[in-house]
Structure formats: C-alpha cells, structure tokens
Copies of this chain bind each other. A is one copy, B any other.
Amino acid sequence: MPITIRKIAKDLNLAVSTVSKALSDSYEISDETKRMVLKYAQEHQYVPSAYAGSLKNRRSKNIAVVVPEVADTFFSNAINGIDSVAQEEGYHVLVYLTHESAAREYEILHELKSGRVDGVLISVSAGVDSNSRAHSELADNVPFVFFDRVCKDVAAAKVVTDDFESSYRATLHLLDKGCKSPLYIDAGPLSITEERRQGFLKALTLRGISSQEERTLICAQDESQNIVSIRRRLVGKHKPDGVIASVEKLAMHVYEICNEEKIRIPEDVKVIAFSNLRIAGLLAPPLSCVYQPSFEMGQRAAKLLFDALAKKTNIVREHIVLPSRFEQRESSK
C-alpha cells in the first residue's frame, strides 16, 4: 500500500496542503518543514502522483527538448520556460543536445521515434534542411513543436520571434547613430540568422548603402576559425564602424577581440547583439541587445505541446510570433 500525501500529513500533524506545497518546494513553506516532509516521504518511499499517474495511463510522462547547446542564454532560458509548464503538467523534460550537428540531430530524431517520449520540442541545428523528411515524419507521429530555429517547410507548430523586424530596427538604430559601414556577423545557415540578415539588408537598402554582399561575414565554422575571421575584419583595411552579431557567442568574440586589439567600443565600432545575456549591462562597455522573449517562447511552445497531448486542438498550423525587445546601452551610443 503506497503512502499518500494525506497519510504524511496525518503522521506529521500538518495540513495536507502544507505537505503538498512542501513536496513541490513552495516558497510558502519553511526550509525546516520541507526537510521534515522530504525526509519522511523519502523514508516511506512516497511515490509522487505524477509518477503514479503515468503507470495508469501508460504515458511516459516525459517530453523531449532537442537543442544545439545549453551554454547559450537563449536555450537555458527557453528550457526553464518549457520546464515551468511541464512541471505544472506533472511531466519531466529530457534535454537532448545536438552540438549544432545535423547528423546527431537525425540520430536523436530516429531514437525519439521509438516512443520514449510523449512529445518533442525542437530548435534545429545549423545545416538541417528546411524541408527535412526526418522532422516531418516525427511531427506526423508525435505532438511536435518547433521553437526559435525552425524547418520552414515542415508542417508543424512553430513558436518564433520577429527576427526580420527586430534586426531591421536594430540596424536602423546603428545607422541613425552615424555608422556608414556596418557589418552583420552571421552564424548561419539557420532560419533565424537568415531572417536577421534579410532585416539588416533591408535597412541598408532603405538608407542607400551599397556593396551589401561584403557587409556580411559568415561564421559557421568552429570557434577558433570564427575568431580568426572576425579579427581579420575588425582590424582589416575595410573595417566596419558598426557590428550586428547574430548570436550571443559571436558578440563575445567581438568584445574579446576589441579588448585585445585596443579597438574602442563604441568610439571605433558600435556593437549590437542578439543576446539574452542577463549581465549584458555589466560588461565593459554595457552591451546593446536585441532580447528575444526566450522564457516565454519556451512556455508558449510547451503549452502548445500539452494542448496537443490533451487532444484539445490540432496544433499543426499554429505559428506564434512573439516580439523581441531592443535595449540600447553604451556599446551603440
């Protein structure tokens, strides 16, 4: 006979709601009470009802989140957003890392076909086809949501941000601050960075800035190669007076190189990054950022997935666009 929350409450002389909150680690409950409840629950091998439930309805009670990496703030925030919804639903989140390798992503999708999880949330690796058959097949078989980086031509729910518009606006900001020779550092080939590149180019066209092709630097190689390419551009003959970094990591390379080469930000080069770095304001100088609504994107994607799991609705045609937010700081002054 498994022990219940009710029994724990009775034995410890606590309210049922107190025990329940203690087990879900609520801030309303003191540490001392939590420790007491946890210890008792552990000693009596209490099985949380989320798990008990999964035995009953034969679901795995797991969802998979497939992402390129966790070292980027966007992904760690988005995972927290997903997890906040999954917790409410009594689900576990399993994070699978592709390390930006399309081959690994296909391997992982193959494994997920076996039904190990009840649903899949995915942000695809660079190099995955926009009409990938593997993604399409999986989306046909389990509840499936793309977030942020998507396969454009695969019919599945998508939660994205306004990459084109936010890049367009950030570029206009750079030009308004007097930049004549801006550079876009691209982390492609990716749906998001392509949109951002198009937004950048549109702003240049609007302001009549030419030689557009030379104004994009593609950094899709390994890290040390990227650093070499960026350095070459920042110290070279046609050096830019403004930079838009399409992802956080590339912005950090720009800062490191400027630091080493004594290139002054914003005097010599203004910098804007697509980044969710919470401490961007603590950098020297504080970094102007296009903040994606990372946590919310994770939440919305997870909510769609659970709607599909509850068979509330067919989500395949859902295409949610959440706006990014630009925050100007010292680096683009």
Contact = CB atoms under 8 A, between A and B. Distances in A.
A81 to B, nearest CB: 12
Interface stretch (A96-104, A141-149, A307-315): A96-104
Contact of A96 (B38, B69, B92, B286): B92
Which among A252, A259, A279 has the highest number of chain B CB atoms within 10 Å? Answer: A279
B94 A38 contact: no
Contacts of A104: 25, 87
A207 interface: no
Interface stretch (A71-79, A164-172, A317-325): A71-79
A80 to B, nearest CB: 7
A127 B93 CA distance: 22
A230 to B, nearest CB: 15
Interface in A231-275: 252, 255-256, 259
Interface SS of A by simple majority: helix
A97 B63 CA distance: 13
Q: What number of copies of this chain does the assembly contain? A: 2
Contact of A110 (B47, B71, B107, B259): B47
A206 interface: no
Contacts of A31: 127, 220
A106 B70 contact: no
A41 B95 contact: no
Nearest to A54: B111
B283 A102 contact: no
Nearest to A84: B99
B42 A134 contact: yes
Contacts of A106: 38, 41-42
A34 interface: yes
Interface string A274-292: 0000110111111000000
A43 interface: yes
Contacts of A43: 133
A85 interface: no
A92 B108 contact: yes
A71 B69 CA distance: 11
A302 to B, nearest CB: 13
Which among A50, A111, A255 has the highest number of chain B CB atoms within 10 Å? Answer: A111
Contacts of A222: 27
7 contacts: A25-B104, A50-B107, A71-B80, A79-B97, A94-B95, A95-B97, A116-B116
Nearest 8 pairs between A and B by C-beta? A284-B284, A95-B95, A25-B101, A70-B70, A71-B76, A94-B94, A70-B76, A23-B103
Interface of A: 22-25, 27, 31, 34-35, 38-39, 41-43, 47-48, 50-51, 69-71, 73, 75-77, 79-80, 83, 87, 92-97, 99, 101-104, 106-108, 110-111, 116, 127, 129, 132-134, 220-222, 252, 255-256, 259, 278-279, 281-286
